[in-house]
A and B are shown apart, each in its own frame.
Chain A
């Protein structure tokens, strides 16, 4: 995609869907939620912001969707600069907030209809798009039920539908599967993939679920406390940690081995080829007089990459206030 006319707010050169440079956001209560991040999101990819609750993911999404103003830094969305071209940005993006945003007192169909009208679709056109979306997301049967009676997964799908009534070029989904059971989670993933196929939109999600980022995202940014520490494809990130690890339970206190760490009392040794390396380590430990009680071989997960780049496990970083909010959302989706 090439730039058209600089006069309408678009910059020159090939356009990344999103460009963020040195973004900082300080809230009025003094909390520095984002401490200077830079990244680009390519046209057509599913990009994930991965981090614990309170890492600043939602703040970044709110800045990108024009809900919050940036304290410092440059932000351009689909080639439009913030805040000068917020209106153009709003017309071209779809947004599913972390909180439940469908009106629980209305039917699914009514929710879609209101969204369609807010994006300028009226009459038959609006009714047609509602019908299309409901059928695509397998919600047609439930269209006349009050949303209060929907399951969590159905509500999330409806919300995704509401955000796609205007064929957005870019979609933001803030914690799309928070509080959902595994089956509903898979269904929502399916809807998100369908969204990319049908609408051909670039998709930005935030998540604190490793397996979600791994299964869904083309590229992932690892976030901790207001900063992005690494961006890459899940494959690259995992490869950069090593292919896997060996986990050994040792009688008595574990010896110190280069690169190894202690986790839950076990000795964890990161290694390229854990299955081939295992006999060597057992033999080596035997010679220094350590008795190995049990041994396990583990392939690398995104979580290992997260630990490497964020410096700690995701659940150890959750902030209390953010967790409380997350639980509230989860409760409403149940």
Chain B
């Protein structure tokens, strides 16, 4: 049973990989935005030295944040794909198959990750080209990929949750736009949590992106994994709760 669930999830991911293989333009276009963030925002704030990032340069500090952001910005709109799949008969066909709701939703969340991986590689390459000093362990850089998968699956889960509630493309698009900036700015992506006022700190601690960025920063820059178990627990917890909630709410989107 467990094996079948995993296989169903992987089949749904395979569908996305095959979609992507026939159309690369999507990745190319989407990798432009993080490039601008890194080249313009990162550079200027490095020079301004207004943010205290301890012994690391601001570019080092912000690179993992931009990487997480690039992933968030794609995945937070993934619910639109689900609405699109509903409007075409794709979702109906999946739901009539013996695959469980949970494995279908998890498959969809991980499908968002597939798109993110390709983009994360582009952003990582750019970070290297810009000469941002990374933690000298290539193994850690490889581990960045599964973290990207996790961040993007959680973000897609949030998006699918809102898609199940709001049910139309326009509204899911609106919600996505409403969510991206707050999620980004209330995380530790651009500045350390220690700089935040108390109220913002509490929000940051509830924000899944904070934990993703923390993991990426440990892998890419500091090599300090003291928070990693907490980071992983929170991210997996979010994924489990979101996937379960979406599995229950999914019947709403079909009505």
Contact = CB atoms under 8 A, between A and B. Distances in A.
Same complex origin of A and B: yes
Interface of A: 27-28, 62, 65-69, 87, 90-91, 93, 95-101, 103, 105-106, 110, 114-115, 117-120, 122, 146, 159, 162-163, 332
Given A68-B251, A68-B255, A95-B96, 6 more contacts: A98-B89, A99-B92, A100-B89, A101-B92, A101-B93, A103-B90
Contacts of A28: 252, 255
- Main SS class of interface, B: helix
B19 interface: yes
Contacts of A62: 92, 254
Interface centre among B99, B252, B255, by most chain A C-beta atoms within 10 angstroms, is: B255
20 contacts: A66-B96, A67-B254, A68-B251, A68-B254, A95-B96, A97-B89, A97-B92, A99-B89, A99-B92, A101-B89, A103-B90, A105-B18, A105-B22, A105-B23, A114-B18, A117-B7, A117-B14, A118-B97, A119-B98, A159-B89
Contact of B4 (A106, A110, A120, A163): A120
Contacts of B7: 117, 120, 122
A28 B255 CA distance: 8
A103 B88 CA distance: 9
A28 B253 CA distance: 11
B113 to A, nearest CB: 18
B87 interface: yes
* Interface size band for B: 20 to 34
Nearest to B99: A118
Given A28-B255, A69-B251, A146-B22, A101 B88 contact: yes
A87 B22 contact: no
Interface string B239-254: 0000000000001101
A67 B14 CA distance: 24
Nearest to B92: A97
A97 B22 contact: no
Interface in B25-75: none
Interface centre among B23, B87, B89 (most CB of A within 10 A): B89
A106 B18 CA distance: 7
A95 B92 CA distance: 9
A96 B90 CA distance: 10
Interface string B72-88: 00000000000000011
B94 interface: yes
A114 B88 contact: no
B97 A90 contact: yes
B95 interface: yes
B111 interface: no
B19 A27 contact: no
Contacts of B93: 95, 97, 101, 115, 162-163
Contacts of B251: 68-69
Contacts of B87: 99
Contact of A90 (B11, B22, B98, B252): B98
A103 B15 contact: yes
B207 interface: no
